[in-house]
Structure 1
């Protein structure tokens, strides 16, 4: 019996998936529209931006850090790429590259402040959140940018899978998760991320340059925020200076609900995808039930607290 149990995946891995299945089963009983292929395609489209931000957030949290600036950095990236195309006539690929360069620059700044000056990630990213917000409003003039080339909205287009329209951005999101999962599981740099989160000092004593790992994580997170910027622009067809104001909390919720420990060193990137889908399923299901958005936020908050409490109790159990 014990040998069989030892072969099963840990609860932190299975828990989010079980919660997703139970949530789907519940909402299927509440609305006949919930189980339709079109509705699941809609959920994927609704979560794709937050889910890609959550990849970068997961990498940061695996190192026992946190990034509060992710949502506003994403918004700034979207404004930069759309302004570059609309105001300066740059081609879509060049404009997109400019936006991603800005988001990666913010990742670099976060990483340097954490590694070189040894500031707490919470304080650093709280500061850069406000800087990114101010920069977004000033650079855009608080105006939505709509005159953008078609190449910037290509990922918002759909293709038919049977009778269901699937957005290309959702496909990119799934590919990014698979690539990141492989990198974390099968490559040395990926294993170093977990090692730094478990014990930075022990990792340093083994000869691994922990500061380089942390710096690389924050820059890579910035790259994912840049990709999320492009997905946001593709979905809405515009550069929105008011975007990103809740995405940081949504991304952290997805990471925590997906079973990644806020204390670092433990988690599976595919769990973050499941966590993002849990949030998306609850909001979609409650909307179909006619429940107010206020209660949707309330339910999300309760789920996050339960997930963190479970993580804390499991850590105490290990000790």
Structure 2
């Protein structure tokens, strides 16, 4: 079966509106069946993406530059981590937060153009997937393919789990070669043999100890050095991550405080309005009671006046006859 032909069909399918995916897949499989039944079966087996994955695919289809900028940022972050540049990592972390917020807003806009609205929960999944794009080259290729099936997650230390996350994974380009994010222990040269007993058991010269050390270099220990560098890189990456998280949470704290202050003020205003309304209601009730009493008295007086008129009329009639 032609994997590229399958990838081409998949590219078209994962670009359609989500509610049209099943019908489009059925039509594509039927069309492919005439020439290649195996291809038709593969097309029929293409999974429908999750809502969040579809939103990311729409971003890849309609705003690929947004993903390219995030991928470039991720490359710069990996370079900074490889060079143990903690300051750059902190600055790039702040830049990533800004770019992710903007990218999620763009995704919302693109999805809205397709006739849908994504919830805050889906938007959070989209942001997590875009964050994975910046942390892992494999995740970046998966996201930029536009054939994502479900959301991704990556912490920048371990590789992202990509199995089952993208349609036709065999058609994905291999990640470009770049320096590793942290020294790989597997590539460390083998430990050098220790000096033989004959060599180490030689009688020490009468030279000062410092001079003896200078003339007899200490065997290097590359594995220990590489491990230390790896630990340092990982610690600095963790420091940058936690600093970024702390800044994000602090911003959320400030936003929440502002929201609470606004709500407290609104609640105070509502209490004042409620108090004024209750006072007005109390006055209205008293006025109603007073008016009702006056109306009742007026009815009694009117009834009395009516009886007086009736008696006067009867007397007039009697006197007239």
Common fold by TM > 0.5: no
Q: Higher relative CO (CA 8 A, sep ≥ 6), structure 1 or 2?
A: 1
* Bucket of the pairwise TM-score, normalised by the shorter protein: under 0.3
With normalisation by structure 1, the TM-score equals 0.27
With normalisation by structure 2, the TM-score equals 0.26
